[in-house]
Amino acid sequence: MEKSKNLFEAQLRMYATLYFIIGLIETELRRRIMIALSSLAAEKGYREWLDVVPKSFGNLRSLRVAYRNNQYSWDGVEEFLTFSFWRHLFDGSNFTLLWIPELYTVFPALEKPKSWKSFAQVGNHMARANGIRNMVAHYSFREVSDFQRDKEVLIWIIRKMGGVSL
């Protein structure tokens, strides 16, 4: 019994670590993406960063839910958007639409930030981070050996962002 209790407590500590790192990534992404998309919106003659977000089914659904959860206000709606929403901005279809004009600036430490390879790396790491986030949020305990790999995925994102502001 004591051994299983110790294992459970160790897993909780690992999950707490991963969730903290995900929180750092999400808040930094939110801030940086809004800045990048605001710049793109201004360049295109739009008023808000939301105006340049692709109108996909998933994005529109996420925006509707966030708007409702924000008491039907667009002001501050970004606080209610899910990690999945931010992650999907790095999907393949957004390479020329968002990445090339501005979104690459979110990751200043990439070797060749405007390249497809960099975009694909970010997209892959963001997809993995979203999976880690869901695993942790839903307490889907896995083998302890995955912790280091999961942490490395998250740290890669932070490094390519050039760090996070606290």
Residue 166 lies in a domain: no
Residue 115 lies in a domain: yes
- Would you call 48 helix, strand, or coil by DSSP? coil
Residue 90 lies in a domain: yes
Residue 16 lies in a domain: yes
pTM here is 0.91
DSSP string, 88-128: HTTSGGGIIIIITTTGGGG-TT-SSTTSHHHHHHHHHHHHH
Residue 143 lies in a domain: yes
Residue 94 lies in a domain: yes
Residue 76 lies in a domain: no
Count: domains in the chain: 1
The residue range of the domain holding 153 is 2-46+83-160
Residue 62 lies in a domain: no
Which pLDDT score, from 0 to 100, does residue 152 have?
A: 96
Q: Are 50 and 63 in contact (CB under 8 A)?
A: yes
Q: What's the Rg (C-alpha) of the chain?
A: 17
User: Which H/E stretch holds residue 22?
Assistant: helix 2-44
DSSP H helices, 45-101, are: 57-69, 83-88
pLDDT in tens, the chain (166 residues): 677 777 778 888 888 999 999 999 999 999 999 999 999 999 999 999 999 999 999 999 999 999 999 999 999 999 999 999 999 999 989 999 999 999 999 999 999 999 999 999 999 999 999 999 998 888 776 654 588 899 999 999 999 999 998 7
Residue 108's identity, in one-letter code, is: P
Give the distance, in angstroms, between the CA of residue 27 and the centroid of all CA atoms in the same chain.
Answer: 8
